[in-house]
C-alpha cells in the first residue's frame, strides 16, 4: 500500500500536461505527501478542470466505521458508561482510505463518474521494504520513479467534495474535500518489494484525457500495472 509519495516539479509542468486552471497558490518545489495531508491534484469540478489542494484519504466504508464504533461502544458499556450509539457512530474518527482497489464495490461505485475523477501529480512513490530492515530498526522505504530523472507522472484518482466526518479527534466534525488513488496488481519492478499492489499511474496526455473525460467502461482499462520499462527502483542514495 502506497502511503508516501513525493512531488518535485512545478505548476507549469502540471498545467502543461493536464490543461487545468491553476487555483493552487504557491506549491513548494519538493513535497512529501503522507495520509491525511493536503496534496495537489487536478480534478473535474463544475464543468471545469482545476489544479487545487485536497486532503488525502477518501471516506472509509460504513461497515468499517460501524465495526469501530461498535467496539468503542462495547468498551464503554463494560465500564458501565451510557452509550448514545448514533452519536458515537457520527463522531467515530475516520482517517480515510488512501488506496482504492475494488472499484466494483458499492462503496466506490458512486464516485466512478467523470465528475469525481482526478489525477494526482507525483515524481516518485514509496513502498515499505521489509527485506532491508536493519535488526532492531525501522522498516525503510523503497522508492520508485518513471526514470533516473524522476519525470512527472500522475496517479489515477477519485475525489469527493464537502465530506462530513471526524478526521482527527482534536478537529471534531468537519467538512472537507477528499481524494484517493487507484491500485492494481504490481508489475515486476514493484512486485519483489510489495507483492499485493501498486498505484495506477498515468504517463501520457492521452491517458490523462481518458481518465478525466471518458465513460467508466473505457476509463477502467487504465486500472492496470505500469509496463515494466516505464518504472525503475531508485538507488538508495538517490531516493
Q: Which residue has the higher pLDDT, 175 or 135?
A: 175
Residue pLDDT, tens place only, 80-133: 787 777 776 677 778 889 999 999 999 999 999 999 999 999 999 999 998 888
Q: Half-sphere exposure (CA, 13 Å, Cβ side) for 122? A: 29
Residue pLDDT, tens place only, 180-237: 999 999 999 999 999 999 999 999 999 999 999 999 999 999 999 999 999 999 998 6
Q: Which of 69, 93, 117 is the last residue of a domain?
A: 93
Residues 194, 1, 66, 157: is their CA dihedral positive or negative? negative
pLDDT of residue 41: 98
pLDDT of residue 38: 96
Is there a single domain that holds both residue 103 and residue 66? no
Please give the residue range of the domain that contains residue 72. Answer: 60-93
pTM of the complete model beyond 0.85: yes
CA 186/CA 228 separation, integer angstroms: 10
pLDDT of residue 145: 98
pLDDT of residue 177: 97
CA 172/CA 166 separation, integer angstroms: 5
Is there a single domain that holds both residue 200 and residue 82? no
- CA 32, 37, 39: angle at the middle one, nearest 5? 65
Q: Tell me if 239 is assigned to some domain.
A: no
pLDDT of residue 106: 92
Q: Which of 78, 93, 108 is the last residue of a domain?
A: 93
Is there a single domain that holds both residue 15 and residue 79? no
Domain tally for the chain?
A: 2
Q: Which of 48, 75, 93 is the last residue of a domain?
A: 93
CA 143/CA 15 separation, integer angstroms: 25
Instruction: Please say whether the beta carbons of 39 and 54 come within 8 A.
Output: yes
CA 59/CA 204 separation, integer angstroms: 29
Amino acid at each position: 500500500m502506497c502511503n508516501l509519495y513525493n512531488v518535485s516539479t512545478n505548476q507549469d509542468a502540471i498545467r502543461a500536461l493536464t490543461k487545468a486552471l491553476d487555483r493552487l497558490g504557491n506549491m513548494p518545489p519538493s513535497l512529501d505527501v503522507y495520509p491525511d495531508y493536503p496534496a495537489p491534484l487536478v480534478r473535474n469540478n463544475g464543468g471545469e478542470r482545476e489544479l487545487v489542494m485536497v486532503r488525502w484519504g477518501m471516506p472509509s466504508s460504513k461497515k468499517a466505521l460501524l465495526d469501530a464504533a461498535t467496539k468503542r461502544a462495547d468498551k464503554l458499556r463494560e465500564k458501565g458508561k451510557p452509550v448514545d450509539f448514533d452519536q458515537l457512530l457520527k463522531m467515530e474518527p475516520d482517517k480515510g482510505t488512501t488506496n482504492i482497489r475494488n472499484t466494483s464495490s458499492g462503496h466506490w461505485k458512486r464516485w466512478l463518474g467523470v465528475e469525481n475523477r482526478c489525477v494526482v501529480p507525483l515524481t516518485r512513490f514509496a513502498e515499505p521494504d521489509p527485506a532491508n530492515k536493519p535488526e532492531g530498526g525501522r522498516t525503510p522505504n523503497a522508492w520508485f520513479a518513471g526514470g533516473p530523472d524522476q519525470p512527472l507522472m500522475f496517479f489515477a484518482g477519485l475525489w469527493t467534495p464537502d465530506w462530513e466526518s471526524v478526521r482527527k479527534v482534536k478537529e471534531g466534525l468537519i467538512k472537507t474535500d477528499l481524494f484517493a488513488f487507484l491500485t492494481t496488481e504490481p508489475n515486476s519492478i514493484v512486485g519483489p518489494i510489495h507483492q499485493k499492489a501498486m498505484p495506477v499511474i498515468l504517463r501520457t496526455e492521452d491517458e490523462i484525457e481518458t481518465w478525466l473525460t471518458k465513460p467508466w467502461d473505457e476509463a477502467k482499462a487504465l486500472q492496470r500495472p505500469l509496463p515494466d520499462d516505464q518504472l525503475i527502483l531508485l538507488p538508495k542514495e538517490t531516493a
